[in-house]
Structure 1
Amino acid sequence: MASVAPTGSTAPTSKALPADMQSPPERPLSHRFSINLRQSGIYVAFALIVALFTGLTGGQLLAPQNISNIMVQNSYILILAIGMILIIIAGHVDLSAGSVVAATGAVAAVLMVENHVPWPLAAGITVVVGALIGAWQGFWVAYFRIPAFIVTLAGMLLFRAVTLTILGNQGIGPFPDEVRTLANGFTEGYLGNIRLGALGGADVVTLLVGAASVAGIVATQWRARAARLRYRQQVDALPVFVAKLAAASAVVMFILVQLARFKNLPWVLILLTALSLGYTLMTNRTIFGRHIYAVGGNVHAAMLSGIKVSWVTFWIFVNMGVLAAVAGIIFAGRLNQAGPTAGINFELDAIAAAFIGGAAVQGGVGKVAGAITGGLIMGVINNGMSLIGSPSERVMLVKGLVLLAAVAFDVWSKRRAGATR
């Protein structure tokens, strides 16, 4: 007997697809203006701090020579911050970075100064020594499951003792001119200078680098926005997007113009830029980078998904040793000698830079750009308070409060996100 469709209903003309085979309804594109404080708050805070100290110093903070000084004086901390952010994202911490800076600087001094090894070969050997130090610590953390806090605390004492043993409690120098140029020097004016009206002369190469940087920022952000639109994700309205892009480009160009007016590009800034871009691409675009975030986000889920957690942990500590060696060479070249007290508290500055830059205490969150920005915030505070004649204890007080505020904000934002679910 044929069945009859219920009254008020329409019999389907074809068999309906199962639920798991039906296409999801398309979501309308959403254009909005909002600020994600978790991601963008650090940049807003940086702008406010710069504005504050610019006013307090009567504009001296943004003078060409002072901007160059901030970049050069904080370069080694920023290099350490790049390695530290990866370790913190993975849910660990490294307390030995400052001691490794001192030990590798001592190795470089013995090779270059006392044994007259050609500086490129000596630098390469020093980097290998840094990698071995990182491998030593990574082995205990990754394969013996000893907490990184304990391993690197032991390393902080161990490698400081190694430094004192190598140097005999005295400094070794001077370093070759090439190393000092890398740490303190500037590129040559290959294309000469150009007049910028009332601003005076400026290095053409530095201005071209600034223009290329702005073009790169525009192209990258435009492609990212187009990709989000293809996946029907939320994006800023076009006028807002253009305004944000113009603001970022103006900041980059302002810094490069000021550097061009003082001298030329600092060599160490070129090195730092190359490291920042390389590690940003690694964390955002490679499998290894995604594995670091997965390990820090949920180590048990990472293991169940087939990620070699021990392997990832081991190599991020090797990487930290390599970057500490690079920072050690830069710092020794800047002082023109390797000293037994080099690198003291550098690890604390690098950790502070990572957390101020948005890294989460529990791991799984953080960006290289954020760590660089956090390091620059610390540098601006140091420099600005020095310009206004603040005593050292007041500088430490402000830096401590800024770090506490950054971590408190991270905890608050997580609780707020959990409460709204």
Structure 2
Amino acid sequence: MGTDTKKKYVNLDLKSLGMIVALVVIFAIFYVLTGGANATPTNINNLIMQNGYIIILATGMLLCVLTGYIDLGVGSVVALGAACAAKLVVEQQWPVALAWLVAIAIGLGVGVFSGFFIAYLDIPPFVVTLATMLMGRGLTYTLLKSLTVGPLPQDYAFIGTGFLPTIKIDFAGGTLDLVCVGVAAVVTVCLILTELNTIKTNNKYGFANIVPWQMAVKDVVILLIVWFFFIKLGQYNGIPIQLIVLGVVVAVYHFITSRTVAGRQIYAMGGNAKAARLSGINTRHVFFWVYVNMGVLAALAGIVLSARQGGANPKMGDGIEMDAIASCYIGGAAASGGVGTIIGAVVGALVMGVLNNGMSMCGMSTDLQKVVKGAVLLGAVVLDVTTKKKKN
């Protein structure tokens, strides 16, 4: 009887909650260092505006990381897609939607190019994506002739700087958007229903549930972050359009990786490619669509970034592939592949965003910021490797 009781519950995997706690701690440290300036409604909104495209890239990059590899070319695809869309809208007067489709098609084309060489010619992903990084950046400079294209019209910029309509009420000496409150309430209900459904499913199939009080603590921490976040947005201009785009992208890819056959195949491949192949998984096909998908999401990130900046320039997206890759590893993805989640990658991107934002507000030089980010990335990977060794 005692054995059954022990099997009924398991302790919460601290690794899954560790980065959320780290995010809160880092934010709290900068709250003290900046005298609370990082917690103002304006700055919370800026965190979304400044890091939205990184979260999109991190979502796609996670799929590459799960296979055990990375994509170095995403920054150049961001720039190339944005440059094409901006030139078509500003110089050729194309409809915005059509220009965006062209940008997405370019990202798709780069993804097909990379995927073909990686999946069907067995060229190492590092080499192929290094080539796309150089080629994409060169094409961007050629296309823009080293000049900036802009300003972009409002219907283009809206995706990067616009907000949903608001319903304002008086609140704490200011105003609060009821739409933000409603979204926070919906997220709360969805989280609770998801947890209840998980418990029901586990009970049905005889799987162990997380110890109730540990699950409650985890959910309370998450919901406090959600409510803090949306209340701050509600005190500013409401919900950014960027946040809607991010929510859709994250939700879709979370579903793909956790609930579909395609998602399970990626994890299987990253865990052991040879075993996955022997089990009947077409690993070439998986490799191909992972890199095609990365190209499409990079183009989408380029659209969002150019919309926020109000134009496109040859240097945009330079080096952001490193932030996307770091977000995945900081969020718990294994360097060897096969381990990681979309939510973890998003949390990792937010950690990077809070670090960037906080260090900038403290007046830290960009050189020193890179040192700190590098140390955080190395620490996350070391923690992952040492944890695995202890388990073995």
State the TM-score, normalizing by the size of structure 1.
0.90
For 1:36-185, list aligned pairs within 5 A: 36-185=13-162
2:235 corresponds in structure 1 to 261
1:288 corresponds in structure 2 to 262
- Does 87-96 or 45-54 show the bigger shift? 45-54
Q: Which amino acid in the other structure matches residue 86 of structure 1?
A: L
1:356 corresponds in structure 2 to 330
Residue 242 in 1 paired to residue 219 in 2?
Answer: no
Q: How far is 1:199 from its partner?
A: 5.5
Q: 1:232 to 1:51 in 2, by over 3 A?
A: farther
Residue 188 in 1 paired to residue 162 in 2?
Answer: no
For 1:176-325, list aligned pairs within 5 A: 176-189=153-166, 192-196=167-171, 198=172, 200-325=174-299
| Structure with the higher fraction of residues in helix conformation | 2
Post-superposition CA distance 1:175-200 (Å, at most 9, x none):
121121110121122xx21233x253
| Distance in 1, Cα, partners of 2:103 & 2:363 | 38
| Distance in 2, Cα, partners of 1:254 & 1:44 | 15
Unpaired segments ≥5 residues, structure 1: 1-25
| Distance in 1, Cα, partners of 2:293 & 2:347 | 21
Aligned residues: 390
Q: How far is 1:314 from its partner?
A: 0.4
Are the counterparts in 2 of residues 27 and 232 from structure 1 also a CA contact under 8 Å?
A: no
Q: 1:136 to 1:48 in 2, by over 3 A?
A: same
Q: How far is 1:34 from its partner?
A: 3.8
Q: How far is 1:35 from its partner?
A: 4.3
| Distance in 1, Cα, partners of 2:141 & 2:251 | 35
| Distance in 1, Cα, partners of 2:102 & 2:60 | 19
Q: Which amino acid in the other structure matches residue 169 of structure 2?
A: I
Q: How far is 1:33 from its partner?
A: 7.3
Unpaired segments ≥5 residues, structure 2: none
Are the counterparts in 1 of residues 12 and 210 from structure 2 also a CA contact under 8 Å?
A: no
Q: How far is 1:29 from its partner?
A: 5.4
Are the counterparts in 2 of residues 108 and 122 from structure 1 also a CA contact under 8 Å?
A: yes
The structure 2 residue matched to 1:388, chosen from 362, 369, 372, is 362
| Distance in 2, Cα, partners of 1:332 & 1:310 | 33
Post-superposition CA distance 1:352-399 (Å, at most 9, x none):
001101111110011111111101101101111111221222211111
Are the counterparts in 2 of residues 210 and 252 from structure 1 also a CA contact under 8 Å?
A: yes
| Distance in 2, Cα, partners of 1:135 & 1:38 | 35
Q: How far is 1:331 from its partner?
A: 1.0
**Structure 1 stretches (4+) deviating beyond 6 angstroms?**
none
SS of alignment partner, residue 131 of structure 2? helix
Q: How far is 1:225 from its partner?
A: 2.3
Post-superposition CA distance 1:231-277 (Å, at most 9, x none):
33332333432333222112111111110011110000110011101
| Distance in 1, Cα, partners of 2:327 & 2:211 | 32
SS of alignment partner, residue 313 of structure 2? coil
Q: 1:229 to 1:60 in 2, by over 3 A?
A: farther
Q: How far is 1:40 from its partner?
A: 2.3
The Cα RMSD (Å) is 1.5
1:14 corresponds in structure 2 to none
SS of alignment partner, residue 194 of structure 1? strand
For 1:4-19, list aligned pairs within 5 A: none
Q: Which amino acid in the other structure matches residue 95 of structure 2?
A: P
Q: Which amino acid in the other structure matches residue 185 of structure 1?
A: G
2:374 corresponds in structure 1 to 400
Q: How far is 1:31 from its partner?
A: 5.8
SS of alignment partner, residue 173 of structure 1? coil
**Structure of greater Rg:** 1
Are the counterparts in 1 of residues 327 and 345 from structure 2 also a CA contact under 8 Å?
A: yes
Q: Which amino acid in the other structure matches residue 275 of structure 2?
A: A
Are the counterparts in 2 of residues 28 and 232 from structure 1 also a CA contact under 8 Å?
A: no
Are the counterparts in 2 of residues 187 and 265 from structure 1 also a CA contact under 8 Å?
A: yes
| Distance in 2, Cα, partners of 1:62 & 1:150 | 42
Are the counterparts in 1 of residues 12 and 214 from structure 2 also a CA contact under 8 Å?
A: no
Are the counterparts in 2 of residues 81 and 372 from structure 1 also a CA contact under 8 Å?
A: yes
| Distance in 2, Cα, partners of 1:366 & 1:240 | 21
Q: 1:410 to 1:243 in 2, by over 3 A?
A: closer
| Distance in 1, Cα, partners of 2:79 & 2:161 | 18
Q: Which amino acid in the other structure matches residue 212 of structure 2?
A: L
Instruction: Percent identity, please.
Output: 40
Q: 1:415 to 1:239 in 2, by over 3 A?
A: closer
- Does 79-88 or 242-251 show the bigger shift? 242-251
State the TM-score, normalizing by the size of structure 2.
0.96
SS of alignment partner, residue 74 of structure 1? helix
Q: Which amino acid in the other structure matches residue 264 of structure 1?
A: G
